[in-house]
Amino acid sequence: MGVELKRARLNPQYLHGKDFLTLADYTQEEITYLLQLADQLKTQRKNGIAEQPLKGKTLGMIFEKSSTRTRVSFEAGIYQLGGNGIFLSSKDIQIGRGESISDTAQVLSGYLDAIMIRTFSQTAVEELAEKASIPVINGLTDLYHPCQVLADLQTIKEQKGTLDGVKVSYIGDGNNMAHSLMLGAAIMGMHLSVAAPKGYQPDQKIVAKAKKLAALSEADIQITDNPELSVKESDVIYTDVWASMGQEEEQVKREIAFKDFQVHSNLLQLAKSDAIFMHCLPAHRGEEVTADVIDGNHSVIFQQAENRLHVQKALLVALMES
């Protein structure tokens, strides 16, 4: 079955031209559709089927933060869909020399069919989307990482067969990953426990937003500073680096604050026997996770990383296909 037949049956035409700035802007139906389309595109790629629904389309990719997975998956994804991707380093375009976001958005809207941006400020992404007349995709900000969580949801569903009622325990910094995981879990009817040290817990406004969404889907969002309590009966154990990009000066301070929040085999044993381990990568073995866990039988980190390609292709098709 081709992409177009699948899309016609699910009738997701309302996604065309929509921005993807945070998961909170999408409904459970819309996210479910994206995951179904990602599954289909993944199956097609495995079977050597190469449909090109975005032939002639161009994606601009603005990077203020360096990347491995985001750049390669988006660039490969748009190419596999028949389109073209243009890498735009902030050092190489005028936005890096003081041109306003508004001017940049309006100029690029005349050249491109969509923009993906990976940067620091969520406000900058929102302004770009407000001024652009084409879809804007949040490839990562300091506040959110929605594309990663789409891949996480696809991976969990592949491993567990469902998202409904699955319990995820996130151990570590209450950062952009924690924020987007909370929103994704809340929308999709999952249970999420975030265990972070005091002073490093998620933004309270985002916690409140997630809990409000959770009330609609019978999900459960909990915040604690007790990793052992968090992981009990969990289906998924998730962690991230202790010092994200731009926080390198805090490395030593954070190592002290997070010393009791390492994911190790003894902690993993408190979860369900078939629990999976996830990490958005890059990982620092021996810091946030021990090597025996991340390289062990419970780990699905490379399946998770590959799924960035498939969910982002689904996102590009949904937002860009005419």
Nearest to 247 by CA among 145, 175, 170, 148: 175
At 41 the pLDDT is: 96
At 167 the pLDDT is: 98
At 8 the pLDDT is: 42
Cβ within 8 Å of residue 179, ≥6 positions away: 143, 144, 145, 202, 203, 206
- Assess whether 289 and 220 both reside in one domain: yes
Report helix, strand or coil for 232. Answer: coil
Residue 195 per-residue DSSP state: E
pLDDT 10s digits, 162-176: 999 999 999 999 999
For position 86, which CATH number holds?
3.40.50.1370
Task: Assess whether 164 carries a catalytic annotation.
Answer: no
User: How large is the average pLDDT for residues 45-69?
Assistant: 95
| Cα–Cα distance for residue pair 241/287, rounded to 1 Å | 8
Q: Considering the domain boundaries, does residue 214 fall inside one?
A: yes
Nearest to 20 by CA among 51, 59, 57: 59
pLDDT 10s digits, 90-132: 888 998 788 999 999 999 999 999 999 999 999 999 999 999 9
Query: Against a cut of 0.75, is the pTM above it?
Result: yes
Nearest to 81 by CA among 103, 34, 109, 49: 49
Catalytic site residue from 7, 118, 179, 191: 118
- Strand 167-171, strand 136-140: pairing: unpaired
Task: Assess whether 240 carries a catalytic annotation.
Answer: yes
pLDDT exceeds 90 at position 74:
yes
Task: Assess whether 285 carries a catalytic annotation.
Answer: no
At 1 the pLDDT is: 39
Residues placed in the known binding site for carbamoyl phosphate: 67-70, 94, 118, 145-148, 280-281, 308
pLDDT exceeds 50 at position 3:
no
At 13 the pLDDT is: 60
At 322 the pLDDT is: 79
| Cα–Cα distance for residue pair 14/11, rounded to 1 Å | 8
Task: Assess whether 113 carries a catalytic annotation.
Answer: no
Catalytic site residue from 36, 113, 145, 179: 145
- Assess whether 162 and 179 both reside in one domain: yes
Q: Considering the domain boundaries, does residue 40 fall inside one?
A: yes
Q: CA angle 243-248-251, nearest 5°?
A: 60
pLDDT 10s digits, 175-212: 999 999 999 999 999 999 999 999 999 999 999 999 99
Task: Assess whether 220 carries a catalytic annotation.
Answer: no
Residues placed in the known binding site for L-ornithine: 176, 240, 244-245
pLDDT 10s digits, 267-288: 999 999 999 999 999 999 999 9
- Assess whether 197 and 273 both reside in one domain: yes
Q: Considering the domain boundaries, does residue 187 fall inside one?
A: yes
- Assess whether 236 and 99 both reside in one domain: no
- Assess whether 54 and 104 both reside in one domain: yes
**Using 50, 70 and 90 to split pLDDT, how confident is the model at 247?**
confident
Catalytic site residue from 40, 80, 148, 154: 148
Q: Considering the domain boundaries, does residue 53 fall inside one?
A: yes
Q: Considering the domain boundaries, does residue 7 fall inside one?
A: no
At 12 the pLDDT is: 55
Task: Round the average pLDDT of the chain to a whole number and report it.
Answer: 94
- Assess whether 184 and 275 both reside in one domain: yes
Domain that holds residue 214: 146-300
At 2 the pLDDT is: 46
CA atoms within 13 A on the CB side of 241: 14
Share of the chain above pLDDT 70, in %: 96
pLDDT exceeds 50 at position 50:
yes
Task: Assess whether 280 carries a catalytic annotation.
Answer: yes
Q: Considering the domain boundaries, does residue 3 fall inside one?
A: no
Number of domains in the chain: 2
Catalytic site residue from 39, 240, 254, 312: 240
**Using 50, 70 and 90 to split pLDDT, how confident is the model at 11?**
low
Cβ within 8 Å of residue 12, ≥6 positions away: 30, 33, 318
Q: Considering the domain boundaries, does residue 17 fall inside one?
A: no
Is the bond into 227 cis (omega within 30 degrees of 0)?
A: no
Share of the chain above pLDDT 90, in %: 89
- Assess whether 156 and 196 both reside in one domain: yes
DSSP notation for 258-313: TTT--B-HHHHTTS-TT-EEEE-S---BTTTB-HHHHTSTTB-HHHHHHHHHHHHH
Catalytic site residue from 39, 280, 304, 312: 280
At 9 the pLDDT is: 47
Residues placed in the known binding site: 67-70, 94, 118, 145-148, 176, 240, 244-245, 280-281, 308
pLDDT 10s digits, 21-41: 999 999 999 999 999 999 999
pLDDT exceeds 70 at position 4:
no
At 133 the pLDDT is: 98
